[in-house]
Amino acid sequence: MVTLEIGKNEKQQRLDKFLRKYLDAAPLSAVYKMIRKDVKVNGKRRKEDYILQEGDQLTLYLHEDELARLQKPRRVQHAKKQFKAAYEDDDLLIVVKPAGLLTHGNKQEHRNHLANQVLDYLIQNGQYDPRTEKTFSPAPVNRLDRNTSGLVIFCKNYEALQTFNAIIKERGRVHKRYLTLVSGLLRRPLSLTDRMEKDEEKNRVSIADEGKLMHTEVRPLYSTDKYGGFTLAEVEIETGRTHQIRVQLAAAGHPLAGDPKYGDPEVNRTVKKRWGLCSQFLHAWCLEFENMPEKYAYLNGKRVTAPLPKKLDAVCRDLFGRVEL
């Protein structure tokens, strides 16, 4: 018999959702069978949709060796810190991701990714202890492509993660602004609304008549006809789709400089030869908060920024001189 006490990072979850995470090596059928026969909450049988409360006593009628078999080993893969902290409080950590670093791990990269670096940082600072946490790990609520740099929001506890996962999907709460260098002279703002379809195998998005909505606002900041013509623009996304900025601006006739997937090959040869830029010029530079729920009202009006990385800043200085944002 194994007894667990539900803590602040497990509360307000359905019983089945918690057990699916806690017994992460068990088949789903086994989890639901256990709920019917081998699980009690505060000494009583509960249905799978029971909402766990902080302080609940969860009893699993399992031998410890069987419990170990139903759980994947929890290992913390230490990774060298490559990010900078832009803002931090008890619930949130907003970091600046460098280009070339994955936000999450994938099949090829299990250790050296941003989420793992943040986890290691919080462990070292005594803000997270994997030995006492049953199911929760600090996690990001937005993500950036590997070769896009800039601001990523991490939540340090389950309640914050639940809240910000919902907030980030709502318009008018967290404004996400990017800086990008595009091909050509962009003389006026653009309001881009399209629908997308995604080729999962090629990880490529295209404009379509049907599919998920994409909406992007583009505001030109600086333009020059040097080297064939470029514009530095600020972009705000109202939806967060895969490659949204890259595919919409390419479709609008202003592909991102250096973008190997949606860019102009001739422009890409120019930026590679002149500045050594081999990926898209795209940087998530600013987050602004408004209309936040009561617990996070202290963030209203908060503006978190990340300056351009040195390599991108050098490109701007060559094209436009000093850039003021």
Burial of 166-182, coded b for 16+ CB within 10 Å and e otherwise, reads ebeeeeebbbbbbbbbb
Dihedral-angle region of residue 42 (phi above 0 means left; psi in -120 to 50 means alpha; beta otherwise): left
Which tokens belong to 211?
């599919």
Dihedrals φ, ψ of 133, to 5°?
-80, 135
DSSP lists the bridge partners of residue 75 as none
- Measured CA to CA, the distance from residue 194 to residue 139 in angstroms comes to 30
Catalytic residue among 56, 145, 194, 259: 145
Residue whose entry in the numeric block shows the structure tokens 């592909």: 255
- Measured CA to CA, the distance from residue 42 to residue 37 in angstroms comes to 15
CA neighbor of 97 nearest in space, from 81, 111, 108: 81
> Does residue 49 carry a catalytic annotation?
no
Residues with Cβ within 8 Å of residue 108, at least 6 apart in sequence:
none
**CA-based R_g, the chain, Å:** 23
- Measured CA to CA, the distance from residue 310 to residue 156 in angstroms comes to 29
**DSSP structure string for 186-201:** --S-EEEEEEEEEETT
Alpha helices in the chain (DSSP H): 15-22, 28-37, 64-69, 114-124, 158-167, 244-251, 265-275, 310-320
Measured over the CA atoms of residue 163, residue 167, residue 173 and residue 174, the dihedral's sign is positive
User: CA 28 from chain center: how many Å?
Assistant: 27
Positions marked active-site = 145
